[in-house]
Structure 1
Amino acid sequence: MSGAGRMSGAGNAGSTEGAAYAVVVPTVGRPCLADCLAALAASVGPSPREVVVVDDRPGGGHARPPLSLQPLGPLEPCARLLRSGGRGPAAARNTGLRAVSAPWVVFLDDDVRVGRLWRTEVLRDLVAAGPRVGGVQGSLEVPLPADRRPTDWERNTAGLAGARWATADMAYRTAVLAAVGGFDERFPRAFREDADLALRVCGAGWRLERGRRRTRHPVRPAGRWASVRAQAGNADDALMRRLHGRDWWRRAEAPRGRLRAHAAVTAAGALALALALARRPEAAALAALSWALGTAEFAWARIAPGPRTAAEVAAMVATSVVIPPVAVCHRLRGMWRHRSARPLPAARPAPVAAPAAVRAVTGKGAVP
């Protein structure tokens, strides 16, 4: 497709009308949603054309109490509440995308707090976007404790501040999303679905830029085993490799992680067990020592930069034993599940003024 064809309906740089935007907020009903919506309402600047909150809790509308749009205050008249059936944030964002018609759509996570001047700043970012710019990212600020070192979970959340194209605050041209097929709903978690979309948008010839607006992303409370549950993202990494090749992480500017080290530690542990069952104690002891050293290195890498309290050290030791095999199992599961995965077919772009142009995004219609 020619560059001119891709620009159809994209709007003109420097035009306030071409920078009109909608806001889509997917949520699973966490209490932080009210603070997110209240911050958006309190922000100073031109109002979004539409605000769509997408309830992604599983089950029918009768199964859970309805979410309230009252925190939006003066923005409530332009707001809608839709349901996406618990299919994950990618599907929830597509549900919101199909419901809007503004030239731009800004995705916010329900745990962020936009700044006092955010509405002024986002409009400035979109007006300044050149005609070949398909998306503009907001800068995330993750507040960390000032009186102690951050925990492992807090450091992981702080990584969002440097993440590329995170949909915690990310604006895209609506026509561009329709052209590339929207979010890939094969990504069921809030992980890698944003990187996948960014790679497809860039592959279609558009640029992505970082804007000047700033948004706070507080650290959510998390249990001791949150880092273990997060290893499910290794299955999504398998899908990324299948869709974008083995060097996808470099093009997405994503950290590569420790999967290779986890595989080595897991193999050493499995070998130690097998040798012990085969009554080869000397070889089993050597393999067990390799497992112990690898596990200790991993645990210390997580303990050293942290507060080193008794609770944190205990959690790091316990989870460092469990994470390597869990990560490997999720990766193998993802490789098998996505062994035949193919990239989404790109749709032809259409003028965003027509609601049908947005409904062209893959997936079923929104449930009112």
Structure 2
Amino acid sequence: MGMAETTPAIETRNVIKSFGSVRAIDDVSLTVESGIFLTLLGPSGCGKSTLLRSIAGFSPVTSGTIMVGGRDVTHQPPHLRPVNMVFQDYALFPHMSVRRNIGFGCEMKAMPKPEIEKRVDAMLDLIRLPAVGHREPGELSGGQRQRVALARALAPDPVSLLLDEPLGALDLKLRIELQHELKSIQRSTGKTFVFVTHDQDEAMSMSDLVAVMKDGRIEQLDTPQAIYARPATAFVAGFVGAANLIPARLAQLDADNALITVEGRDWQVPASRITTSHMPSAGDAITLMIRPEDVALGQAPEGALTLTGKVADQTFLGGRIHMGCETAGGTKIMIETRPGGMPDADGAIDFHFRPDAVAILSHSEKA
């Protein structure tokens, strides 16, 4: 991440964007350090594209400040901001060759012609399409067009690249291929990428940091690993990956342990597993999150937390089985397990998990 005194690539300070009485961006302060791959992740309508467009200058903010490379650009038009945007529909000029498309931003900056030619060559090599410079965009495949759009955005050397669901129009195989390519281009250029998607797998596999958004706010900004293992809210837990959410009550809490009552059983869980920012108190209703792959069947080892129930349905997924279960208290539990040793569909089963696989979510943070 570099040294502390480096200027962040992008900063938003208390940014609000209202459409009538609706706040599409609701007081967002975000610092994006230079050279990282940050993804804005969330459901449709959560404000992630509006935030990206506000940084680019296409959607002027109602209030707040936007800094790019340490410079206040809040009131500057898009073409004066040192950022470039890549869209889902490529937005290439159809009657210009690929070379002219890639060099366009450099021409706008009045770079000398020999320098533009050198830059375009470097970009064509970077996107691994050195031979298509003379073609027009219509002669290229969707994946090639998206690579050219990326090269065009990178050519003028912006502080940051803003990518609005750029892979959304591609089929799955190509999309995964381009995810790897985007990540490697980001690494090799050292550019700051701010990427918008509603696809959690895409966000988790590509990003250094993920900002999960809901209703115009950032619910959690963290590494993909931390968001998965230590969600800050029940919304984040449910949006990122599959999650079992079990209602419970906090009986006691001290510095080291939380005593929790679940379906008449007392469980002891490390207090460090409280992942929400709001600290619950004894007597509070809480929600426990356990990932499906952390639930095991059969004989419980010493110290494990256990529940009983029955299997409701099973889905065979090749190397693993997805089981839907129901506890004695009526809570639905998903389990991911390997084939073999499957319980009878009708019989009662015991399932268990380690205390440190549980995340405790307090109820002030509603899903």
User: Same fold per TM (> 0.5)?
Assistant: no
Compute the TM-score of the two structures, normalised by the length of structure 1: 0.27
- Structure number with higher helix proportion: 1
Higher RCO by CA contacts (8 Å cutoff, separation 6 or greater): 1
Compute the TM-score of the two structures, normalised by the length of structure 2: 0.27
- Which has the higher Rg, Structure 1 or Structure 2? 2
- Structure number with higher strand proportion: 2
